Amino acid sequence: MEKEKKQKAISRMKELSEILQKASKAYYQEDREIMSNLEYDRLYDELVCLEDETQMVLAGSPTVSVGYEAVDELPKETHESPMLSLDKTKDREVLRGFVGNHKTLLSWKMDGLTIVLTYRDGKLQKAVTRGNGVIGEVVTNNARVFDNIPHKIPYRGELILRGEAIITYSEFEKINCMIEDVDARYKNPRNLCSGSVRQLNNEITAKRHVRFYAFALVKADDVDFQNSRQCQMEWLKEQGFEIVEYRVVNADTLDEAMEYFAENIQQNDFPSDGLVALYDDIAYGDSLGRTAKFPRNAFAFKWADEMAETTLEEIEWSPSRTGLINPVAIFTPVELEGSTVSRASVHNVSIMRKLELGIGDTIRVYKANMIIPQIGENLTRSGVKEIPTICPACQGPTSIEMVNDVESLYCRNPECPAKAIKGFTLFVSRDAMNIDGLSEATLEKFIGKGFIHEFGDIFEIGKYKDEIVQMEGFGEKSFRNLMESIEKAKNTELPRVIYALGIPNIGLANAKVICREFGYDIEKIRNLTEEELAEIDGIGPVIARSFVEYFAKAGRKEVIDHLLSHLQLKAVPQVNENQKFTGINFVITGNVNHFANRNEVKTEIEKRGGKVTGSVTSKTNYLINNDVASGSSKNKKAKELGIPIISEEDFIRMLEEQ
């Protein structure tokens, strides 16, 4: 298809998808009709014809259905070529020197999560995060539900491209508005995007409306790009990808383009922390090579920080899990980079002294990289007056220590609950006690105020109602929702409780095995010996030792008794008499067709005494993968080790065998 005709077709496909989605939603979710069946079918058929004509299927097309799937982990994968950071500057003249007389593409430096996509035979095969630049996480299932990634493209060779996954400001605000607890809200769109892209359940990703913008083509053999990065970008657009907006510049036209970007950044609905300059000439850029840290064919420009003057109202001391007590500056709210800020970390006592921070001082604040609030300057410098001598979390003694030439305040109490914040966070998590409304930030706040010292205290938090409803981000409704969630959590299963305790090396799967082996008898379980545990297949001496040592620690019995006094443990689950998979280890990968998700397959295996692990090892007995012939890393490993790769149908036949 000629270029103009193709772009019109793509535009019409987007329009049709939106119309048909609205019609489906009205009919199936809202019980109303906004068009006749005849009209719907006519538009649907038009979309199918356009998809056949362009050999392209865009994200959100009603002609495809992307199933939701939960996974146990995100596999790691090494990138074919390292993804280097870019050298950067805040000086326009330095950037001009880099551009020189070269034709250069100047584009937004989007602030999200970099993703590498691989397409083969016109279909998305793989999506991997940047990670540390060498090794990333495989997020293919999640990428399939991004709002704008094409599911099918015309090009049939292997295509590898890079781009930025982002969540818009408007979507970020919409999601945060649904979270009543202010402390549980996401700090910025980048954090939200990172968490959304790396979800284990892609149904959650789909609800976050992640978008992908291509910024670099890595590989597309047998395509003549005329030695031009611009040609590559336009070709990616023809394949159905949204690309990062760019301007073609040289040293003489740089100012005009930069003014355009500077004017538009305030109106943009997406986060950006600067610009990227990339030489158009592919061969020339590649010939420059790279330094130890940066490629030489590209350069980043970071925006100068916007400063605002305000008044320091308070220093809040926040205990952390390391014992470090961090000073946080609370100041009169100011507008910075389009949002209101009222607090900034000061990091340590040395910085406080250097800034001579005192209550009532006039300070200048900014957002580092337009994101993280920082104190840039203290104009009045009245001096540091008081540093706490007791920890706000446990009332234990504090001391100032010099570590690497930096003065910091520490809590000296080894039993300070603030040091166990990760343990409390695990305790309330979904697979453990599943208590909504207790984010890590909220837990830190409650612990800092002395409301929580041990797990059982969480179920007694109601006695602090008067104080909690007055806290920032809490009101009567939030408190009521929290109490309902805590009440619901009281009715639980013993494996969840064992896992929630945070015993080293004990995950939910091991907790289930131990509970099943010893009849769900909590008294017996917490008095087990290393020898008794070591007799369980899959429980080695390290796990057995950490389990026994946990329950043997002084004071632990009282803590657990206190917790159990608030819980109603569910009846012991009925064990399937057919334990045909005892001693057999499975790995499950890929999509499933006959079960709702892979967790259902896992449940069927565990009911019959089997075990499901996340990676293929010499101890694996079967790999379940509907794509038996795929070249995935798990399939390759299974073949190397001589492990049978079975389909879902094969597994179902195994279930049916007596």
- Catalytic residue numbers? 109
If you ran DSSP here, which 8-state letter would residue 89 be given?
Answer: E
**Cα angle, residue 436 at apex, residues 430 and 437 outer, rounded to 5°:** 140
Q: Which residues pair with 129 in a beta bridge?
A: 115
CA atoms within 13 A on the CB side of 166: 22
What's the CA gap between 234 and 224, in Å, rounded? 12
Could you tell me the two tokens for 307? Answer: 């400063």
Contact 141, 149 (CB under 8 A): no
**Closest by Cα among 497, 508, 502 to 568:** 497
Backbone angles phi, psi at 559, to 5 degrees: -65, -45
Distance CA(379)–CA(397), nearest Å, equals 33
Residue among 262, 199, 215 at smallest CA distance from 111: 215
Helix segments in 375-527, DSSP class H:
421-428, 440-448, 465-468, 476-489, 494-500, 508-517, 522-525
551-554, long-range: CB < 8 A, 24+ apart = 551/526, 551/527
The bridge status of strand 372-378 relative to strand 398-403 is unpaired
Rounded-to-10 torsion of CA 92, 98, 104, 108: -40
CB distance 458 to 438 below 8 Å: yes
State the CB neighbour count (10 A cutoff) for residue 289.
Answer: 9
Count of residues for the chain? Answer: 658
Cα torsion through 373, 378, 380, 381, rounded to 10: 120
3-state secondary structure 205-241: HHHCCCEEEEEEEEEECCCCCCCEHHHHHHHHHHCCC
Cα angle, residue 635 at apex, residues 629 and 640 outer, rounded to 5°: 115
**Phi and psi at residue 398, in whole multiples of 5°?**
-115, 165
